[in-house]
Each structure stands twice: as structure tokens, then as C-alpha cells.
Structure 1
């Protein structure tokens, strides 16, 4: 299911945070949002999963303004993993994951066979099946992260909206999660701080800077030394990964680009055809 964001402007506390953003997450693609802290990534994602209402513009879900959908119907299509993650659930891991089935239930309805199957599959997918009966509050940060991701998977949505899903995960679980996203092939809109991870897992990238989309396209076309210097203020070379062939960013950790903060960026790079590998 395709997501189109048209001329989106979002503001709060009297300040415009996202300005005129236009981007697409095509059906079945993994679409990444990257940019410096404060560039508007989380704000944009909160608008997609209806936590924030835009001042102007629209978020279209398969051509329909998502604000026109009833909350339960929208939740059947879009599942979110926000950065504001609850940590005080006095529930078992299985019960937290089962919350993802709520949009499909009538009031006070219990779990049926489909619910149980989806919950167990989600737990296996994130490597938490053996912890199903543990208390959520007893888990580490990384374990909680995987449980909340399982809750989104159990929702069985058409679209996944993930805000920094690899936070708190060790390297092994980061790799497993990103591989799982590629295997599932759901339309996925994900923000990532790790540019190498974004270049590896995403079919398409949108680069945000100061609330504006300044570059869009396949990672190989978007990630260049010039863009890294202008947007992120770092010196880097972009190489070919020896194992996967994806872009590999080698950062110069001895000095920033030009020794200063990145200058404002204007214009938008041409949108290319998304990669299929």
C-alpha cells in the first residue's frame, strides 16, 4: 500500500518543524528518512501515524487522506513504532504483543486462533518467543524494543512506520531486524541514524534538513560525499561494500567537513528509480 506525502507542513509551539515536505513510500518498498537531529524526521512520522495533525498538506494512504479514516480502520492499515515507547506495562510479553490485535476486535472480545498465530509468529520473528511469559517491565531496553516491534508486526498492517527501530539493539539484533524488514516486504517508512544501515536496507531515501526534503532517490544516487558534507557536516568517502555491493560510508573521524556546521541546503535531488535488490 502506497504512502504519498504532499506539501506537508507541521508546526507546534509556534514553530514550523516540517515545511513543504513531499515524498513517497511505494508499495512494498522500504523507504528511509535520514537527516541530522532536529531535521524533522520524527515529526513527519508522527503525522503519518496520526499523532500530529498537519497545518497544511496531506498524507495519502493508497490515495485517501489518512485523516479521513476512522482510527480503528487506520490502525488496521498502519502500525507504528514511535520513539516515545512505553516502559510501564504491567503485562507479560505475550500480552503486550497481543495489543497489536486490538484494531480487529469488538469491545471485550477475546483472542481467536488468528490472533494467537500472529502473536506467536511476531514473537518468533523478533527472537522473543522464549520470553513470552516474562513481565515486560523486567526486560532490558533492547528486549523491550523487540517486543514493541513484535506488537507492530502482530498488527499485520499494510504499512509499517518505524522511528529509529534499531535503537537499544546490539549489532546482531540490528542486522536480524533489518534483514527481517527486507524479507517481509511491507511498505515501510523508517527513520535511521545509521547511514550505512539505511544504505543497505532501504530501496529509497529521503534526506531531511531543517524540516525540508533536500534529496530523494535510491541510496546509491543520494548518498554522496558532497551531500554528507552539506547536510551532516562530515567528511566521508562513499565506497562499495565488499560483501553486499551497497554504498559504504567511510567517515573521517579526525575532523568535520570544513570545520564548521553544515550550511543551509536548497533544492532537491532528482528522484531515481528504486533499487530492487
Structure 2
């Protein structure tokens, strides 16, 4: 199986110990030759410096680094400054998102939607960056309707996005239906499924409640039945997610984007299964 279009996501570490652990995990994952590493951008740009520092390390190691950039709460001037920093660092890919305001934050800033951010990046920098945006096969949790969410995605692409990465999901049919609906709107950019390894039931439920990702009932009940048996949870999760990835790739998905949670083990196990090793 071709793994050349697989990519991996990190979040910027908050401590020196976390940074050391990420370097070790990244070195292991780099051995799989991912297409690129992306690095998240905290609510309201709260991890802006950490994101840039981590991407600089990735670039210095000879890999492609793609920082996330969220616009909510920001001004055109502040986003312009971040873009300049990215260019000076040698960044060629950006994941452009609306993002979330941190709790207690005042206004929403000058950007309301990710489509406005994409349009601004193109106006400011031309084709300097390959721009990825987010897609939601199971519908964004704040969307007014599935159709409204699909139109929001279309606006981001028409504003200049080159490709998209999805929120994670465990129902392949949701992805295939989303792709069919997108094509009907004339949207034909690559949409790469986001893949979340299953290693911890409680953590998975918490993340999924926050982002609106559905855990199929049979998967949820099976995971719950294992209780504190982490080995069984990981083994079952690996089987479930491997089967999901295989179906997605067989159905035409252009690649996979792994949410690593700054750990090498779960992504490596999936990668090796898919590569037939």
C-alpha cells in the first residue's frame, strides 16, 4: 500500500520535558517518511510561538512542516505578521482554520470565517503557501445545517484552498457521502481523512463530545466493556482504525492524516499495518 501521502499532526509542547518527548516521537515517526508534519495553533493563537518554534525544528531536521493558523480573535495586521514569520522561517504549507476563542476572550476579531482567512492569505502572499483547510464529514458541531456546513466548505475552497483535512471520524460512509456532495458542487480538491488512533476510551469520548465526532455504538460498547484493560482497548482500536483506513484508501481517499497526540506508538502501529510490515 502506498504511504507516500500520509502526514502526521503534533501539538506544540508546553514544557521542556514535553519538547524532549516530542523530539523523540518525531524522530521515530520521521522514519516512515511522512509527506509533512503539521503543528496545531492554540485557541486565539495562544500557542503561536510554540507552533512556530516546533515548525522551525521540523524544518531544520529536513522535513516539511505545516503550521496551523487560526484567525478568530485576530486582526489583519496580526495575521499578516504571522504570515511574514512563516515566510522567513521557510514555511511552504499552512493549515488555515477559523479556530476557537479561548474562554474569557473578548471579541471575535476581524475574521469571522476560515474562508475570509484563506482569501486574505491569497491576497497577501499569492501562491507562496499550499493552503489546507478543515472539512467535516459528520458536520461541524456549530453548523446550522448539513447543507450550510457544506456551503462553508465550498467557500473555503473557492477562496483559494488547495486541499482539506477532515475532522476525525469512524464511519467511512460519512466521508464518501461528503465527497459525493462536494463533487456535486464542483469542488474537486483533495480531501484527506483525519485519523485518530484509539488508545484510551475516556479520552476518546471526551474529545469526541467536544468536536462532534460520532463513535459508532458497537465500537463504544465494545470499548466500554474492556474497562481498565488498556491492552485490549489498544488492540481492538488498532483493528477498528486499520479497517477504516483500508476502506478509505480503497475507496479513493488521497492520503491519511494521523492525529498523533505527540506519541509515536499508535501512529506507527497503524502505519506498519497499512504498509504490510
Band the TM-score falls in, shorter-chain normalisation: 0.3 to 0.5
| Higher relative contact order (Cα pairs below 8 Å, separated by 6+ residues) | 1
TM-score (norm 2): 0.37
Q: Which has the higher helix share?
A: 2
Q: TM-score, normalised by structure 1?
A: 0.37
